[in-house]
Structure 1
Amino acid sequence: MFNRILVAINGTAQCDKVLQLAMKVAQSGSRIHVVCVISAEYCAPDVASQDASPAARSEQLRAEDIIANARYLLTTQSIENITTVIEGVPEQAIAAHARDLDCDLIVMGHHHLSTFERVTGNSVAYSVLESSPCPILIEVG
């Protein structure tokens, strides 16, 4: 039923739960696409841009580490996977990437917002839900 699953992670403690949930719904022949989104101002995909901005280098290395850990976990479970660091506003980048890959499902986490956070805007999960091209499975942390 779900052949192309997009998993959006960001390095929080909830990442393992999100990956475990995706593995539960993956079937034989499913491919899991794992993404970690970096804001455009911190994206440094090449050495020259990483050298120009220590903050961007740190963020890029952190995202690559998050992705490498996910790849390792999925590979040790013999689950076909593709891992990518993508750039942009998280809610927009996740929905666009799912659309580009023609995904059947998005799996991501959600944490409860404080009163202030609810007043100032929606969560990433809620915003993805509003623009998603496919169903979303949310791990509530």
Structure 2
Amino acid sequence: MYDTILVATDGSEPADRAIDHALDIASTFDATLHALFVVDTRRYGNTMLEDSEATLSDLNERGRDVLSTIEGEAAINVTTELRNGAPHEQIDAYAREIDADLIVLGHRGLTSGDEIGSTAERVVRYAERPVITA
């Protein structure tokens, strides 16, 4: 049913739940798992990031740390990818590149609240493949 699964993370608690679900699903279906971290350049503004290479470097390092933790703790092989840009666009683009059968992500990211976050909503709305939010 699922051969290739993409889990998107921003290091938040909902993303951690999504990772757990993605690992379970990948193990159940003996699927390939890809983990993606997107540095949201929209949040900080491209102008600010262009002027401060150190800030972008720090954000990318955080992404590498999150992905490294997933690789280290997973009982299966995980392919990781770090990208910069609008998260929903990068998630959809990477899912198409790897021909993912399923996208798994947290229902919201680092911001607080109970409602679905804007990234999750956009991925659910526009991705042309099944999406699970955790």
TM-score range, shorter chain: 0.7 to 0.9
SS in 2 for 1:19: helix
> How much is the aligned-residue C-alpha RMSD, in angstroms?
2.7
Contact kept, 8 Å, 2:39 with 2:63, in 1: the verdict is yes
Q: For structure 1, list consecutive stretches of 5 or more residues without a partner in the other structure.
A: none
Q: Decide which of 126, 129, 134 is 1:134's aligned counterpart.
A: 129
In the TM superposition, residue 29 of structure 1 has moved relative to its aligned partner by 3.2
Q: For structure 2, list consecutive stretches of 5 or more residues without a partner in the other structure.
A: none
Deviations along 1:39-79, one digit per CA (max 9) or x if unpaired, are 3449x9xxxx9xx62211110110110110111122xx1x1
The structure showing larger relative contact order (alpha-carbon pairs under 8 Å, at least 6 residues apart) is: 2
SS in 1 for 2:129: coil
* TM-score w.r.t. length of structure 1: 0.77
* TM-score w.r.t. length of structure 2: 0.81
In the TM superposition, residue 28 of structure 1 has moved relative to its aligned partner by 4.9
Q: How many residues align?
A: 125
- Counterpart Cα distance in 1 of 2:19 and 2:40: 22
Contact kept, 8 Å, 1:90 with 1:124, in 2: the verdict is yes
SS in 2 for 1:5: strand
SS in 1 for 2:11: coil
TM superposition outliers: structure 1 runs of 4+ over 4 Å: none
- Counterpart Cα distance in 2 of 1:56 and 1:113: 23
- Structure 2 counterpart of 1:57: 57
2:125 counterpart letter in structure 1: E
Contact kept, 8 Å, 1:30 with 1:80, in 2: the verdict is no
- Structure 2 counterpart of 1:25: 25
SS in 1 for 2:71: helix
- Structure 1 counterpart of 2:120: 125
Q: Which has the larger radius of gyration?
A: 1
- Structure 2 counterpart of 1:84: 81
Percent of paired sites with the same residue: 27
- Structure 1 counterpart of 2:103: 106
SS in 2 for 1:137: strand
- Counterpart Cα distance in 1 of 2:81 and 2:106: 17
Contact kept, 8 Å, 1:113 with 1:123, in 2: the verdict is no
SS in 2 for 1:110: coil
- Counterpart Cα distance in 1 of 2:124 and 2:14: 19
- Counterpart Cα distance in 2 of 1:57 and 1:113: 25
SS in 1 for 2:38: strand
